[in-house]
A and B are shown apart, each in its own frame.
Chain A
């Protein structure tokens, strides 16, 4: 069953056609990677799915619902969470508070209840905290819980961002270059965590990634893009040996 279906997705910035008529579907429960040289439109597709950019033509359907026009903040409520290429964390807050923001879409309290911190708010806070602790356990972030993001090394920030996305309890996780800036060891760990997230939590993953080792290890299917256009979709081996993909990376 397809969880996300994009059909003839296009976006133009002025005269620049960043993505042209790209169609793909992502099945429930799979790890789907997007590869391609710089400027191929990989991150742009993420920004379209998470509604940061407006789609010029085409449509995006998520779990049977057309999300091409919905408000940006509704995307998370539907069950799509994402990370960013250069991390967009809340720099001046602790790791704990960053993760608690992930629980934001599950809040049920009103402003008045919060101003007086009624028992309902307190119960909700405890529930959020437990959910956050589960994610902290999963990704081994215990020792960073009370640290300010600004003081953390880049690799840890990347993991915190994945953790924050997990706190929304998504159905679909968009990871934008999760391994960039990680050392080989951390990348190794990452591939195990991706497997945990995908198989134990049952979360569908789409990732943009340059590290072909990680891509072939972790993903079920791969989509290759070049210059905003779809080249091919297939298994990691098929895509890696596809002549047009080779040409896009290596030139003629």
Chain B
């Protein structure tokens, strides 16, 4: 067991709380920064995708994991970010400006969606966001003058100040830098009053309001922030796809994003990273599985979504805390060996809800 002696309140506020953190996170950073040196070209591209998913996941985690608002329509924000970015690049706007504008526009739309959904919770909210995503998808298909409809829209190669960022390694570093920047912003937010207000809204709206948290403001803000990060990821995703079409932003995409935060572990930033690695690399895993499996199994159409679905079911039944939760349990097991008790993580179940009349 590790004991940390605290001598200053600052120790609870710092991002890096003790030497152990510094060591492990430092090592992890070293590994990702040297990635392109020892990964093969193809995998470098795949990890860039993992970073993009992680940025979108940060946004969704703020909303779902920290504020308890479920969105089944985050692919819409990914799409808004991607199309805005590509549209502006095609107009000749420089890359950072286009990216910022994409994120900002997505945030604006997010805030606007947030307003009518203020009075909704749970299922109603999930379905409202789903409806919003379907509407955005239809707009992408039918607003041909801007989006190119089904024909789609080409995305210019990423370049900045004459520097070509389209090689896998350069794009890898671009995505990594944006991910790290976004993570610091989110971590800052979570250790400030707004972050606490979010978790308060998640755990009890009534009591948050009685403590002076402005529910409406907090929810709209989180929607906007969540959309901003997802829109930013969308801008990068546009380069990854290099050709935008509406079928890249369907309900399945939204559910994949949600799957990421659930499988990773709700309410933790580690969960975002684990989840992004999971959904970013699962298709690789499935491809390997297809090669190894007998042809009868390998040729099943729709195998990939089915495996996604099955994973989702298994995680929800056996490990609702996600990969990060499992990781915590394993760590605790070794830290407290041989005193580990299974009941430490026992979930409290709630029956009989009171929010219904009959």
Contact = CB atoms under 8 A, between A and B. Distances in A.
Direct touching of A and B (C-beta under 8 Å): yes
Contact of A111 (B203, B204, B207, B221): B221
Contacts of B204: 88-91
29 contacts: A50-B210, A72-B209, A72-B210, A73-B209, A73-B212, A73-B213, A81-B210, A89-B203, A90-B202, A90-B204, A90-B208, A92-B202, A92-B267, A93-B199, A93-B200, A96-B12, A101-B200, A101-B213, A104-B197, A114-B188, A114-B192, A114-B194, A115-B188, A115-B189, A117-B192, A121-B192, A125-B9, A126-B10, A168-B211
Contacts of A116: 185, 188
A116 B182 CA distance: 11
A142 B221 CA distance: 34
Interface string A18-39: 0000000000000000000000
B206 interface: yes
Contacts of B203: 89-93
Contact of B208 (A101, A126, A129, A133): A101
- Nearest 6 Cβ contacts at the A-B interface: A76-B212, A88-B207, A105-B212, A114-B192, A90-B203, A117-B188
B214 interface: yes
Contacts of A97: 196, 199
Given A84-B207, A90-B203, A114 B212 contact: no
Contacts of A201: none
A130 B179 CA distance: 34
Contacts of A111: 194, 221
B207 A76 contact: no
Contacts of B213: 73, 101, 104
A164 interface: yes
A79 B194 CA distance: 20
A97 B192 CA distance: 10
A109 interface: yes
Interface in A136-166: 150, 164
B13 interface: yes
Contacts of A100: 193, 196
Contact of B193 (A50, A77, A109): A109
B331 interface: no
B324 to A, nearest CB: 14
Interface string B200-241: 101110111111111100000100000000000000000000
A96 B185 CA distance: 22
B142 interface: no
